[in-house]
Amino acid sequence: MTSLPITLTINGHKHELEVDPRVTLLDLLRERLDLTGTKKGCDRGQCGACTVLVDGKRINSCLALAVSHDGAQVLTIEGVAHGEELHPVQAAFIAHDGFQCGFCTPGQIMSTLGLIAEGQAGDDPERIREGLSGNICRCAAYGGIVEAVLEAQQQLVKADRRTAA
Amino acid sequence: MTLELSLNQQPAHARQGSSIGQPLTRRDGFLKVTGAARYAADNHPPGMLYAVLAVSSIARGRVASLDVEAAKAHKGVVEVMTPQNRPALAADPDAKDHPFMFRLDLLQNDQVRYPNQSIAVVIAETLEAATEGAALLSPRYEVLPARVGLDGAESFVPRGVGVGGPAVQHKGDVEAGLKSAKTRIEATYETPAQYHNAMEPHAIVVAWDGDTLSIDTPSQGLAMAQGRIAGLFGIAPENVHIRSPFLGGGFGSKGMISGPQILGILAARLVGRPVKLVLRREQMYGPVGHRAPTRQTLRMGMDGEGRLTALDHHAKTTSSTFDDFFEPAADASHTLYASPAIATSHDAVRLDTGTPLFMRAPGEATGSIALESAIDEAAYACGMDPLEFRLRNYAEVEPMTGKPFSSKALRECYRQAAETFGWASRPLQPRLMRDADGFLTGWGMGTATFPAIMFQAEARAVLKADGSGVMETGAQDMGQGAWTAFAQIAADGLGLDIDQVDFRAGSSDLPNAGIAGGSGHTATAGMAIHNAGAAVIARLADLATGDEASPLYGAGNEGVLARGGRLYRRDDESRGESYAEILTRAGLTEIEGHGKGAPDPASQENYAKHAHGAVFAEVKVDPDFGQIRVTRLVGAFAAGRVINPRLVRSQYYGGMIWGVSFALHEEAITDRRSGRIQNANLAEYHVPVNADVPSVEALLVHEDDPHVNALGIKGVGEIGITGTAGAVANAVWHATGVRPRRFPIRIEDLLG
């Protein structure tokens, strides 16, 4: 296959790449850029383990061909914390035991960031459950996930108020 | 290349005194929420190639042709491995030296014996080229008719079920018991084939260096995997180094190394370069095990007071045509309910399927949903409340063996869970409760139980002159929290703060920690850690009490306590000194001790050892459409000593949601003509998503068990499924008046 040139900004870093058009965004991240935090659970958009934010929106990176996102801003799990300082969503996942094996966790966290940005779920647990139902957790740490999202949401609202004031 | 992992980067956790019993957050949490936890498929050694399996699309027959030339002609494809060029093995993959050795499909011939069996491996420079190469093989088959379903072949009585237990057992005279009964019930239940579907597909990254192997692959049993690989390749076990620091879920499917993982090793041998092989999701429906379907018939007789006079439990199950694993479903009736006569029996058919294997609560889960449903039917037939009926038949000794229980706080589980749930106001008759929206509401219950099993494990403890400690055992963390719970046991065993202990696990070059399965890992490896700690502390105490310069001189081993990095005289705690002082004065940089974990033969002989629990469920059913929602689950569990209540609760939650899934969601559907699984993907094979999950509460009931092991640990990984699945089924009956007889429960069954 003839490779095509693309540019992606991933976690704030610009990458100029030559990409086989068959390569998914997920495989590009994992197999070429060593950003292996994003996981492959099904490669069919059914499990959500590969969720990343593209231009601020959550997508299944296994269903996205890398070449079709030329110029995009991509945020992966590796770009969420600031060094040792965890994002409130990450800290809340630990505090509420929102995972067991951890394999779906990067996807859950990216999906949570997307959900919060969409501003549709608020602090309604039922809507959070619906909004995160594209991310399967076979360990079934769902209760902890919902608690973590609720807490992180509150923290973020507080932080926003502080910033505004 | 040893595993390098430091998990002591978390801020100190608030706790008092010992580490055991404290609800520490996961020590691997930081790595997991930042994406830094490296799972097998995240590795990428230099020069690595990608291997992709081609798998059979038929259930039975032979591969007549493969277009190897077309695959090899594809740009980037390096090699195609078929039965013609597969490197030789030192052992026959169809040999079975012991019951835990399962036959593997390693391209030994052109025969196909189940769908999704590996038939070739394409190795390429990129994943895309390997994937396309596999598609270009365009296999042609000679197809034989597939044998499918519980009636698909002639049945027989297996020689053993589960891990080799008798297929047929009885005590007392069941027929006489049934004859003398005032009330009798008989019911047949069907459970489907289920697939583990851990989120992480089986994966292997492997590099050969001469006759040594460096492997990253998820394993619930590192030492067993190491031995199996060594045997197949004719090399020494110590030449096989496997790293498995994190499993992306296992549930039994990663207990034994599977055929595809071995094919990855063979592929690396063939091309002389490191190889990564990752199963595609649909390829996990065959070679990595599953829970076999069952058809179970229960007969019960009760006297005028609702006491069982006889309990007969028969289970029919399936295995593959070429290997033996038989789901021991009927054995669930051995332990829970007192009856003067109990009979359990199994028969099976051989089908064109991958060999079924251990899947979370193998036998217990399948048996429990049938037994708990039948107990509910029996209670109703006697006009009794289901809890009252269970208490009436409460087993004071293990019913099948007559052995006393090592501990059994089940009554307390019933009491606490019933009270929290609000069970007392439940009407006896079904179809009497509706919620404000008009949904039929039902309450059901089930008893949970799982045996307290121990395997064999070893650990090595080190105390260093700087006052810190090391604890090593090749334990496996598949999400249950081994990195945290074992570090807690290690800290107490060494008398150190947890952050002073370097706990090392997840690698086959460490002492054998036994298998992470059977809910026995914490007890087994935990005891090895505990004993290794005691051994090294005893050495330290020897040094101190024998040294005239020590304030502990002459105290004797029995008279010394280890705590907070210091030894104290037991009779005078003002006299003590630090580990560092003792070792430095002795001129030693470090000392070590070894420990083992194993079941105590005397207590095995004398006691029945089980964890117990009670689960109560509420469901709501749409009266017009039959749609079922579980709205509330309350479980109470007694499983001996709790090492970390936060992690234990998570195990119960997970298990209980698996119970919901068993009752309402999971089922692999086999096409009757082709024998292929029709829903081998995560969209059509239903597992619960967040929106399916109700409010779940798990109560930890205190239980001291002096017999199971010195730490008093039973096990918590599997018990949550048992009891829950039946509770949901019974709640559906209570809501609708329709008794579910096949699982998962379908809308059409409720609409009649």
- For position A93, which CATH number holds? 1.10.150.120
Distance from CA of B696 to the nearest CA of A (A): 8
Number of neighbours of residue A4 by Cβ within 10 angstroms = 14
- Percentage above 90 pLDDT, chain A: 91
pLDDT higher than 80, residue B700? yes
Active site residue B703: no
Instruction: Count Cβ–Cβ pairs < 8 Å, chain A vs chain B.
Output: 183
Identify whether residues A70 and A92 lie together within a single domain: no
Q: Which amino acid is present at B190?
A: E
Chain A hits for B32, CB-CB cut-off 8 Å, are: 99, 102, 105
What average pLDDT does this structure show over B276-305?
98
Identify whether residues A69 and A103 lie together within a single domain: no
Q: Which amino acid is present at B658?
A: W
CB spacing of B691 vs A105 below 8 angstroms = no
| Domain residue limits at A60 | 4-79
Identify whether residues A71 and A123 lie together within a single domain: no
Distance from CA of B278 to the nearest CA of A (A): 10
Chain A hits for B692, CB-CB cut-off 8 Å, are: 133
The residue of chain B with its CA nearest to that of A144 is: B650
CB spacing of B654 vs A141 below 8 angstroms = yes
Chain A hits for B248, CB-CB cut-off 8 Å, are: 39, 101-104
Identify whether residues A18 and A74 lie together within a single domain: yes
Q: What is the CATH number of the domain that holds A25?
A: 3.10.20.30
CB spacing of B278 vs A106 below 8 angstroms = no
- Phi, psi at residue B406, to the nearest 5°? -65, -30
pLDDT higher than 50, residue B691? yes
Catalytic entry in B419, B548, B718, B748? B718
Q: Are B569 and B575 in contact (CB under 8 A)?
A: yes
- CB of B563 within 8 Å of a chain A CB? The answer is no
- Where does a domain end: A39, A54, A79? A79
CB spacing of B682 vs A146 below 8 angstroms = no
Q: Which of B307, B428, B447, B442 is nearest to B370 (CA)?
A: B447
Q: What is the pLDDT of residues B400-459, one digit of tens each?
A: 999 999 999 999 999 999 999 999 999 999 999 999 999 999 999 999 999 999 999 999
pLDDT higher than 90, residue B190? yes
Identify whether residues A26 and A63 lie together within a single domain: yes
Identify whether residues A67 and A102 lie together within a single domain: no
Q: What is the pLDDT of residues B572-623, one digit of tens each?
A: 889 999 999 999 999 999 999 999 999 999 999 999 999 999 999 999 999 9
Q: How confident is the model at residue B13 (pLDDT cuts 50, 70, 90)?
A: very low
- Where does a domain end: A13, A46, A79? A79
Q: How far apart are CA A26 and CA A21, in angstroms?
A: 13
Chain A hits for B653, CB-CB cut-off 8 Å, are: 140-141, 143-144
Chain A hits for B697, CB-CB cut-off 8 Å, are: none
Q: Which of B203, B215, B257 is nearest to B93 (CA)?
A: B257
Q: How far apart are CA B476 and CA B244, in angstroms?
A: 7
pLDDT of the residue at A88: 97
Q: Which amino acid is present at B269?
A: R
- Counting the structural domains of chain A, the total is 2
- Where does a domain end: A79, A100, A129? A79
Identify whether residues A54 and A99 lie together within a single domain: no
Question: Domains in chain B, start-ordered, CATH in brackets?
Answer: 41-144+202-278 (3.90.1170.50), 360-453+605-751 (3.30.365.10), 455-598 (3.30.365.10)
Task: State the pairing for strand pair A57-60/A51-54.
Answer: antiparallel
pLDDT of the residue at B607: 98
pLDDT of the residue at A122: 87
Q: How far apart are CA B232 and CA B103, in angstroms?
A: 11
- CB of B249 within 8 Å of a chain A CB? The answer is yes
Q: How confident is the model at residue A163 (pLDDT cuts 50, 70, 90)?
A: confident
Identify whether residues A71 and A102 lie together within a single domain: no
Distance from CA of A103 to the nearest CA of B (A): 5
- CB of B687 within 8 Å of a chain A CB? The answer is yes
Q: Which amino acid is present at B371?
A: L
Identify whether residues A27 and A71 lie together within a single domain: yes
Identify whether residues A120 and A152 lie together within a single domain: yes
- In eight-state DSSP terms, residue B221 is -
The residue of chain B with its CA nearest to that of A104 is: B199
Q: Which amino acid is present at B526?
A: G
pLDDT of the residue at A161: 86
Q: Kindly provide the ipTM of the predicted complex, given to two decimals.
A: 0.98
pLDDT of the residue at A103: 98
pTM passes above 0.95: yes
Identify whether residues A105 and A134 lie together within a single domain: yes
Chain B hits for A135, CB-CB cut-off 8 Å, are: 689-690
Q: How confident is the model at residue B121 (pLDDT cuts 50, 70, 90)?
A: very high
Q: How far apart are CA B368 and CA B337, in angstroms?
A: 12
Q: Are B483 and B521 in contact (CB under 8 A)?
A: no
Identify whether residues A12 and A75 lie together within a single domain: yes
pLDDT higher than 70, residue A12? yes
Q: Which of B539, B535, B536, B540 is nearest to B567 (CA)?
A: B540
Kindly write down the DSSP assignment for every residue of B254-294, as one continuous string: TSS--HHHHHHHHHHHHHTS-EEEE--GGGGSSTT--BPPE
The residue of chain A with its CA nearest to that of B36 is: A37
- B163-167, B318-322, B350-354: range with lowest mean pLDDT: B163-167
Q: Are B560 and B567 in contact (CB under 8 A)?
A: yes
Q: Which of A130, A119, A125, A124 is nearest to A157 (CA)?
A: A119
Q: Which of A138, A31, A150, A127 is nearest to B41 (CA)?
A: A31
